[in-house]
Structures are given as C-alpha cells and as structure tokens.
Chain A
Amino acid sequence: MVDRELTIKGRTAIAGIGETVYYKRAQAPDPEFRMCLDAILAAAEDAGLAVDDIDGFASYSNDRNEPSHIASALGLPELRFSNMVWGGGGGGGSAAVANAAAAVAAGYANYVVVFRALAQGQFGRFGQAPPLRGISGPMAYTMPYGLVSPAQMFAMRVQRFMHEYGGGQAAQKAVSMASYHHAQANPRAVMHGRPLTEEAYDGARWIVEPFRLYDCCMENDGAAAIIVTSAERAADLRHPPAHIWAAEQGSDLGQGLPVHNAPDYATSNFKTLAKHLYDTAGVGPHDIDVIQSYENFTGGVVMSLVEHGFCEPEEVDKVLTFENLTAPNGSLPINTSGGNLAECYMHGLELIIEAVRQVRGTSTSQVADVELSLVTSGPMVTPVSNLLLSASR
C-alpha cells in the first residue's frame, strides 16, 4: 500500500518547457552544449522565470553536458542539486523528472531543470556499432554474433511477445501511422510534411524482423529542457502548471540479467511500475486522457500500453488501431506530437514536453479537456520510468 503522506502527488509541477529546433541527425548547426543552453534558456523564458533562480539539474542516459559546466556558463548564483539516472536510451526520462520533483519536495532546490541534448554529428550515432576490435563482459556473448544495435537487442523481446500472445504486427503499424499522422499537424516535427501511407509502411524494408523501417525511431540532433518546481511556485509562473501526480522508475525481477536471461522476457518492464504509478496517483488506466509512450521501436509501445492496463496482450491488434490511437477522436490517443518516430528523437524528453502541452491545452493535436496526461519512458531497457501529469493539483 502507498503511504500517502510520503508520496510526491501534488507537491510539484512542470512550469516551463523549452526546445531548440529539431534537426535530422548530424545536421544541427550548433554544438551540443550550445543547444543545451538554448533549450534551458527557452524553458526559463516559457515559465517566466529569472534564469538566476535555476538551482538544480537532472538528466539521464549519460548526458554529456555536466550541470557544473551549465551552471557556471549561465552564471547561476548557486548550484544546489545535480543528478543523473543510470541506464541508456530513454528509460530515464520520466525518472529524471521524478528525481527533480523529489529534490524540490525535499527542499534541496527550488527550480530544477531536466534536460537532454544530442548532437550525433559531433559525437557518435546510436544505431551504429562503435569501432571496437575486442569486446569483453556480457557483450562478448552477443556482439560477435552480430547482435549489436538497440533494434537488434529489442526485436527478440517483441518476437517473443508476438509468439506468446499471437499478434502485434498490426498494432505496431498503427503506432507508427498514428505518430506520423500527428507529426503532420506539428510544424516542429522533423517529419512534418512527410506523411506516411499504409503502402509506404508495408513496403518499407526490414531493419530486423519484426521491425520495418517505420517501426524504428529516428536519430536526431537538438536539445530539450523542462523546469520542475513546487506546486506553489508554479502557480505564480506564466502557464497553468502541469502537476506531477506520480512518477516511478525501475524494472521487474532480473531485467538486468546478462545475455537476454530476464525471467519475464516478453515485457516492456512496466509491470511493477504501472501498479505503483496508479496506486500513488489513486487512479487507473480508464482515467487517463492522453499518453506519450516512448517509441524506440513500435513493439515496445504496444507492450507499454498493455502493461499500463490499456489493453489485454491478446487483443493488441483489435484495440490498438489507428482510429483509437489518434487525436482528437481516438479513445487512446498516443504520441500526439509525432514523438520519437516523427517529431524528434530527443530521447523522449520531447514526449514529456508534449504531455505538458496536452495539460496546458496547446498541443497541435490537442485532446479535449485533458485532466490526466501519461508518459511512459524507454520500454524494454532497465530502468524504465513513467510519469503522470494533471491539470489539477
């Protein structure tokens, strides 16, 4: 049972959001650190917050831009909190927000920035193997077999899911089509003006079965930032606060076991987290109005939605249809900015920003009367994380 006196619910809120222009991979005109600063300043501006008031930073996925460097570059009077979530990919996205909220609730800092910056031209690509001659440790049991990239790491989980429950290809397609559909309304999206037809999806080459090209996220350059503060302080800032009702991070038993030995394999890793999230918030899946579900690969979205209680695993192809997944009329609208597939692969921080927009009522694919806005971050990795935002405290 949740000890309600000790939960985060209603104590903090997201008060500011900021992004650079989103670019195709290696096309950013600016270096990563410069983009990181741009996004943070944009978030402060959006919040109507004096930059000097920022006093903490949280990030994830081994972001290269260190808070001490950022704080000094910005001339901040004091740095009171800096924090990194372990783990790769976007699994730490909502976790970084959770950590920022915890810091604010504990009084460690008053205005904590959560940020992510990526310049894959300046640094390496995620979708290509690093140039190595030898490999030791757990990857010595996978890399020499040509199992190297994230798509290859996760395709086998999704294949097993499809085997156990008998379906998922149609749901994967619906996820991809929904994301591209929403990107057509979003001028910030890298794939704006590049609609995806069913024929193009079906005709696209396999990357690794069961993922075709449009089941895979893009690789992009850019930066994004949000500002977390107390609910009281947020109320005095420019925009209606997106109140943090719950946020969880972690994974189920043995999900970090090497060489694909997790006892429960056909999972996105949200089974325990979803329960904690709903318990803390005191709500259930039927109360959620809109979902931003991290798409490294569409199969991960399908499993995330199942594990958050939106659909039974045997029914994914029936329930997770294009009609249901699209705003404004779908019963289960997801990834309303285009997300990692079609807006920008900003390691899912762009999904958290979109979840805030849905609460504010400013999305380019707005769902009516949003009360509860859910984010699921980084399926199939460990840790994963999730976040529930609300228009009310």
Chain B
Amino acid sequence: MSATDAYLPAGLPAPASEALDETYWSAATDHRLMIQCCQGCGRHQWGPEWICNKCRSFDLEWVEVEPRGVIYSWERIWHPVHPALVEACPYVVVLVELPHADGVRMVGNLLGDPTEEVQIGSEVEGVFEDHPECEPPYTLVQWRRLP
C-alpha cells in the first residue's frame, strides 16, 4: 500500500521517532509490527515505555507480533479539527486489542467505507500504509476487517 491510497489526506503531523521507540517506526517501514515485551515477567506492553509497569524491570525487548486483533472501541469523526481533515470527514478511528499480546491496544483507522456499521469485537488485521514521500519516510499501521 502506498501513500497515494492513504486513508487520510496528507498534512497531518508526521510521526517522528525518538530514542525510546526508534525500533517500532523502523520495523513498521519493513512492514513488521513490533511492540515491547518485558524480559523480566514476559508481559507485552504498549505504548512505548522505559520500564515494565508490572514487574518494574527496565529490560524491555522489542518483539514482533502478528498484526491481528479485535476492535475494542471505535469512533466516527464528523467534525474536522485540523485543516488537513476538512475533506476527510467522516472517518473512523478504532482501538484494536491484540489478545495474543496480553491485550495491548493500538490506535489506527478502520479501512473501508467510513459509514459502514462498526462492531466492537470484530476481528481485524493490520495493513501497513507507507508514506514514502515524507522525509523521513514513515509507515502507519492501519486495520481492516477480516472477512
């Protein structure tokens, strides 16, 4: 998938990595979903943090997880709050739970017709949305319904 068919128009702030989450963003450009997993207690954790909030180990590793999940919550946005979004409404933001990764949740857009009914509990899979035109280039993890 390339930015020519990105879900939202260009012009929103581009994600910039920092020391803590460089691995996530670079893995995403390779179309791999990586999140943190504690080497002390084995628990997955999200978003990026320096310490395990369960066992307080600083030994957090980045591990690849399968980009599949279920919709935990969602919203359909009708009122644009950014100039880039004026023509983009309505659009759908989903909160996706990854049951195979200790139930961490990730935010993304739900690809497809934004006016279609959204069901909490629906299964979704990740889609890597490249933005190669940006400097530096980046990739967003988006979600689409499983048939």
Q: List 24 A-B pairs, Cβ < 8 Å.
A: A128-B81, A128-B82, A133-B14, A135-B14, A136-B15, A136-B17, A140-B17, A143-B15, A145-B8, A145-B107, A145-B109, A146-B77, A148-B81, A152-B77, A160-B95, A208-B75, A208-B78, A209-B75, A257-B49, A258-B47, A259-B47, A259-B105, A259-B106, A261-B46
Chain A residues whose C-beta falls within 8 Å of the C-beta of B12 in the assembled complex: 143-144, 146
**Which residues from 13 to 69 on chain B have a C-beta closer than 8 Å to any C-beta of chain A?**
13-18, 21, 46-49, 53
B109 and A159 form a contact (CB under 8 A):
no
Interface size on A, residues (CB 8 A): 42
Known: A134-B16, A209-B78, A261-B104. A145 touches B48 (CB 8 A): no
**Which residues from 236 to 295 on chain A have a C-beta closer than 8 Å to any C-beta of chain B?**
254, 257-261, 265
Closest partner residue, chain A, to B110 (CB atom):
A145
A145 and B73 form a contact (CB under 8 A):
no
A135 and B16 form a contact (CB under 8 A):
yes
Q: Closest approach, in angstroms, between the C-beta of B81 and any C-beta of chain A?
A: 4
Is A173 on the interface with B (CB-CB < 8 A)? no
Is A123 on the interface with B (CB-CB < 8 A)? no
Interface residues, chain B, CB within 8 Å of chain A? 8, 12-18, 21, 46-49, 53, 72-79, 81-82, 85, 88, 90-91, 93, 95, 104-109, 120, 140
Chain B residues whose C-beta falls within 8 Å of the C-beta of A165 in the assembled complex: none
Is A21 on the interface with B (CB-CB < 8 A)? no
A145 and B46 form a contact (CB under 8 A):
no
* 1/0 contact string of A122-152 vs chain B (CB within 8 Å): 0000011100111111111111111111011
B108 and A145 form a contact (CB under 8 A):
yes
A132 vs B15: C-alpha distance when bound (angstroms): 11
Chain B residues whose C-beta falls within 8 Å of the C-beta of A157 in the assembled complex: 73
A159 and B75 form a contact (CB under 8 A):
yes
B88 and A260 form a contact (CB under 8 A):
no
Closest partner residue, chain A, to B91 (CB atom):
A146
Interface residues, chain A, CB within 8 Å of chain B? 127-129, 132-149, 151-152, 155-157, 159-160, 163, 205-210, 254, 257-261, 265
A314 vs B120: C-alpha distance when bound (angstroms): 18
B16 and A206 form a contact (CB under 8 A):
no
B76 and A209 form a contact (CB under 8 A):
yes
Chain A residues whose C-beta falls within 8 Å of the C-beta of B104 in the assembled complex: 261
Option from A128, A206, A265 in Cβ contact (under 8 Å) with B76: A206
Known: A205-B79, A207-B79. A133 touches B13 (CB 8 A): yes
Chain A residues whose C-beta falls within 8 Å of the C-beta of B47 in the assembled complex: 138, 141, 257-259, 261
B77 and A208 form a contact (CB under 8 A):
yes
B81 and A261 form a contact (CB under 8 A):
no
A139 vs B109: C-alpha distance when bound (angstroms): 15
Closest partner residue, chain B, to A130 (CB atom):
B13
Q: Closest approach, in angstroms, between the C-beta of A334 and any C-beta of chain B?
A: 25
Closest partner residue, chain B, to A155 (CB atom):
B75
B93 and A147 form a contact (CB under 8 A):
yes
Closest partner residue, chain A, to B8 (CB atom):
A146
A206 and B107 form a contact (CB under 8 A):
no
Chain A residues whose C-beta falls within 8 Å of the C-beta of B140 in the assembled complex: 144-145
Closest 5 CB pairs of A and B: A258-B47, A140-B15, A259-B47, A135-B13, A129-B82
User: 7 additional contacts, CB 8 Å, given A139-B13, A208-B76?
Assistant: A134-B15, A138-B47, A145-B109, A146-B82, A147-B93, A163-B73, A257-B53
Known: A163-B120, A206-B79, A258-B48. A144 touches B14 (CB 8 A): yes
Chain A CB within 10 A, most for which of B48, B81, B93: B81
A210 vs B75: C-alpha distance when bound (angstroms): 7
Q: Closest approach, in angstroms, between the C-beta of A14 and any C-beta of chain B?
A: 36
Closest partner residue, chain B, to A128 (CB atom):
B81
Chain A residues whose C-beta falls within 8 Å of the C-beta of B78 in the assembled complex: 205-209
Known: A146-B88, A206-B78. A160 touches B73 (CB 8 A): yes
Closest partner residue, chain B, to A134 (CB atom):
B16
B72 and A160 form a contact (CB under 8 A):
yes
B53 and A254 form a contact (CB under 8 A):
yes
A140 vs B138: C-alpha distance when bound (angstroms): 11
A159 and B16 form a contact (CB under 8 A):
no
B105 and A261 form a contact (CB under 8 A):
yes
Q: Closest approach, in angstroms, between the C-beta of B4 and any C-beta of chain A?
A: 17
Chain B residues whose C-beta falls within 8 Å of the C-beta of A151 in the assembled complex: 79, 81
